[in-house]
Amino acid sequence: MLIYLCLSSHGYGHAARQASVLIELHRLQPQWRLVVSTDVDSQFLNLALQGVPFEHRKLRWDVGMVQANALAIDQIATLKALQELEQHIPAQIAAEVSWIQSQHMSVLVLADIPPAAAELADQLGVPLVWMGNFGWDEIYAPLGDSFLTHAEAAAAEYSRGQKLLRCPFSLAMDWGLPEQSLGITASSPRSLPLGLQQKLESFKGPIVMVGFGGLGLALDSELFQRWPDHLFLMPKPRSVGTFLSMQTPGNVFYLPRSIRVVDALPYCSRHLGKPGYSSFCEAISLGVGLHVVLREGFAESRALINGLQSHAAHRLLERESLELGEWELDQPLIPAAQQPLEVDGSMAAASAVVELAA
């Protein structure tokens, strides 16, 4: 069996989510062949999949939203990228259909969550399973004007397929398909190198993970010095400009690129960042409180915040508070309004794929 994952290239959250599922799928069916088709870089995929064998088809299946930085989007650049994608996607689908058919294997397409996956699966004549917490139709529609055509086209594609695996923190996703609701999808932490483990265990104050996605966010180093008793961990920004924009204070530690955020989270009491599906799932699964900077202009953010308030201990911050260093790390967390979510979403999704592929 060949599982062809048609994966969004919008940020790293979709890739982190699917990595947690593919890890469980490999445990259930170690002989299955896993193909990850996305423009996400191989370095991130290798780190996220932690040794699970996979083949990377480096292709772009969607645009999502072009981001100016971790908290802002560029609508003009997004429309231009959508127009360019429309021009080349038919040829890309034809080429991938030819390649997949040449493998002479049974196939299931798993999509998170490029609309073009529907046409790929249809031309192959194979099952299609959607997995996500939103579709691009619901992201584009509120933007109106030139985005409406793209929203309508995406909605039409999402009505095709065999099943929707609905992740937590979801938008309406009213696609008329059989669906299954999932719990939290997050990978399990792995042991840290001994030296780093000892460094974190020996620190006497609170440890805070700072995460603003793959684009990062330039923050003044003086803001961290307002919290001298805290140790701040963060991945090295992949943007050189972001990395050089801040002289590293003594209480900030950049994680080596070989370490996933989820591996260091068990040593943290709080996470400071933007609304993000995978960040939320990883922190919630490990009982880490979330300090979240509100983000405007992206429809998923409201669903994420609503879910956060319902199911996780948290504090909400305005962008101005972030830039002033008023991070409220010394304040108690606001408790969840409802019961916590189940944390078995990755295994449940993998089991559903196995059942549908049978």
Kindly indicate the confidence band of residue 70, based on its pLDDT and cuts at 50, 70 and 90. low
Is the peptide bond preceding residue 93 cis, with omega within 30 degrees of 0?
no
Q: Is the dihedral of CA 147, 148, 154, 155 positive or negative?
A: positive
Domains of the chain as residue ranges with CATH = 2-186+344-357 (3.40.50.2000), 194-324 (3.40.50.2000)
The DSSP symbol for 38 reads: S
**Measured distance between the N- and C-terminal CA atoms of the chain, rounded to whole angstroms:** 9
Taking Cα atoms as reference points, which of 288, 306, 314, 294 lies closest to residue 134?
306
Average pLDDT over the chain, rounded to an integer: 94
- CB crowding 217-244: b at 16 or more within 10 Å, else e: bebeeebbeebeebbbbbbebbbeebee
Q: For 4-38, how does the pLDDT look when each residue is reduced to its tens digit (9 = 90+)?
A: 999 999 989 999 999 999 999 999 999 999 999 99
Q: Express each pLDDT in 241-291 by its tens digit.
A: 444 355 678 999 999 989 999 999 999 999 999 999 999 999 999 999 999
Distance CA 275, CA 237 (A): 17
Instruction: Please give the model's pTM, rounded to 2 decimal places.
Output: 0.94
Reported confidence tier of residue 216, pLDDT bands at 50, 70, 90? low
